Structure 1
Amino acid sequence: MTTTPANEKGYWNRATQQIHMEQLKRVELFNGRAAMLGIVIGIITEGLTGSGIAHQIGLGALVDGYAACRTQFLPFCF
């Protein structure tokens, strides 16, 4: 059975860490681009339909003061 020397083991740890960081950077870049695209689509849809992003995703009752106070989602009423 062969064993890896300590310096070679450290090399593989650094190489693995570097690969992991490169993958993490790509994933974070993709997530950021997807979030920006989602916001742009929401704003365009808001401009076309007149309903805000909160209404588009079904949270309009939280924004409309009356419904929010009646269902007690907010600690204050308008």
Structure 2
Amino acid sequence: MANQQASEKWFQDSAARSIHTEQLRKVELFNGRAAMLGFVIGVIVEGLTGQGILHQIGLGALVDGYAACSTKMLPFCF
């Protein structure tokens, strides 16, 4: 009886692991496709507006400040 319960538990655990793996595969596939689509849209918008992807999401000031600091054009650069 205990052997049968252990066998059933193993089967249930194996089935749950298989279902979880399949769901994870589908979710990762969707995430990858969404990321590719977002990147392509960002590149298209960059081509149309001339603003880079970081500028589009509001981080342009950080990039501009870094470029200025790397050329030592700003007095407060470290």
Q: TM-score, normalising length from structure 1?
A: 0.79
Shift of 1:68: 7.2
Structure 2: any 5+ residue segments left out of the alignment? 70-75
The 5 Å alignment of 1:23-42 reads 23-42=23-42
Structure 1: any 5+ residue segments left out of the alignment? 70-75
Structure 2 counterpart SS, 1:35: helix
Q: TM-score, normalising length from structure 2?
A: 0.79
* Separation of aligned partners in 2, 1:24 and 1:54: 30
- Structure 1 ranges of 4+ moved more than 6 A: none
Give the superposed CA RMSD.
Answer: 2.4
Shift of 1:65: 2.6
Q: Taking every aligned residue pair, what percent have the same amino acid on both sides?
A: 71
Paired residue total: 69
- In 2, are the aligned partners of 1:42 and 1:53 still within 8 Å (CA)? yes
